[in-house]
Structure 1
Amino acid sequence: MQPAEPVQSAARPVGRGAKVRAAVHAATLAELLDKGYAALSVEDIAQRAGVHKTTVYRRWVDRDSLLVDALADHLATDLPVPNTGAIETDLRALARSLVQMFTSSTGQAILAAMFTGAAHLPEIAAARRHVFDDRLTRGEPVVARAIERGELPRDTDAAELLKTLAAPIYLRLLITAEPVNEATADQAVRVTLAAARAGALRPARVSKAATG
């Protein structure tokens, strides 16, 4: 019986830890949505999650480290990478999923925190960069398959294509505050495909004059 006890005592905290982390992350995003970054507090998050604030402080040193962890975890959720058999419908699915994510109430609260309220935090900038780089990497097979099918020029730069697709959506979300909907996504697809097919999305080449 003695050998079995360490196994049981070691297994239980893992389950509790995972459940607490998920509950606290969910509570953090809910509080962010309800109150915004400025009014976010560990006490309110703990109360909403149904745990004591000391439980939170055992895992995260302060409010901002908790927020960074919750945002990174939420944004790491995979957007489905489409494979419809055609580049136009693949890009439309990608663009529409981006619109859907960031026009939701939670998505808007996350954008506000990442680009205004908590934008001063180095950890937020690093998390943002990591997420966007990861999304570009995940989207590259969509472009590669289109090149193999002959739908795009062979020297199309996948990263530049995906940035061109996302740029007008983020422009409206973060700068112009114009409506963002499926029509926005579809227009971004048309512009991106026109640029790619015209050869405007090739890898950047440094001129000899620039390199000396």
Structure 2
Amino acid sequence: MPEPETAPGTLRPGGRTARVRAAVLRAAEDALIECGFDGIDLAEVARRAEVGKTTVYRRWGSPRVLVADLLDDMAEQSVARAETGSLDGDLRANARLVVRTLTDERQGALFKAVIAAATGDERTAEALHRFYATRIAEWAPCVTEAVERGEVPEGTDAAEVVRAVSAPLYYRFLASGDPLDEAVADRAAHAACCAARAGAYVEPRSSLAE
């Protein structure tokens, strides 16, 4: 069956259609957590969501389109950034949010399943990249505001600072298996903050001039 021409996430219907979408995405989450990407079957997702198979096939058309829409929805539903008045406080809030998400029984399992799926499917990978680009864009202003306050140097790459906060947390989550808790989150945030203040994330002058 051909995939829908409209990219997932471009339509935001209301009413019954929104309820159907929410039920299907919740069922897709359950299927991902229980069976992984390869175990997703649209007919089974429809059964779990208690909606017609025709509706699911017509709107999503394939598991990868469904997972891409799920990631878009996750980005939309993510918690807004904190505004504590200091870079250290904002980055600490960001790091603690990442840790809470990754250590949540359901959300942690879902992220592992989605990341695993993205390693073998280009469309899922693109959706995952959009998800993280959205989250980075949400939190980047905490760094640009810190530049305006004089906390960090002019030319600091805000996105790189935000990435530096979450990178060691995802390393523990996916690679090393070391504990994830608030102390680890605070340390990651403090390290990124200190590096930013020292100018480690200032863009090269050649890049700034382009």
The residue type equivalent to 2:181 in the other structure is N
Deviations 1:183-212 (A, max 9, x none): 1210101211221122211114569xxxxx
Would the aligned equivalents of 2:157 and 2:203 in 1 still touch at CA under 8 Å?
A: yes
Displaced runs of 4+ in structure 1, greater than 3 A? 204-207
SS in 2 for 1:45: helix
* Matched residue, 1:116: 116
Would the aligned equivalents of 1:37 and 1:118 in 2 still touch at CA under 8 Å?
A: no
Would the aligned equivalents of 2:169 and 2:185 in 1 still touch at CA under 8 Å?
A: yes
1:154 correspondence with 2:158: no
* Matched residue, 1:192: 192
Q: Which has the larger radius of gyration?
A: 1
* Matched residue, 1:165: 165
What is the Cα deviation at residue 76 of structure 1? Answer: 2.9
* Matched residue, 1:33: 33
Structure 1: 5+ residue runs without aligned partners? 1-12, 208-212
User: Over the residues paired in the alignment, what is the CA RMSD in angstroms?
Assistant: 2.1
Deviations 1:135-163 (A, max 9, x none): 22222210122122222222322122111
SS in 1 for 2:84: coil
* Matched residue, 2:44: 44
What is the Cα deviation at residue 14 of structure 1? Answer: 5.5
What is the Cα deviation at residue 117 of structure 1? Answer: 3.2
The residue type equivalent to 1:19 in the other structure is R
1:61 correspondence with 2:64: no
The residue type equivalent to 1:132 in the other structure is Y
What is the Cα deviation at residue 115 of structure 1? Answer: 2.2
SS in 2 for 1:81: coil
Structure 2: 5+ residue runs without aligned partners? 1-12
179-188 or 131-140: which moved more? 131-140
Would the aligned equivalents of 2:144 and 2:158 in 1 still touch at CA under 8 Å?
A: yes
> Percent identity at matched positions?
39
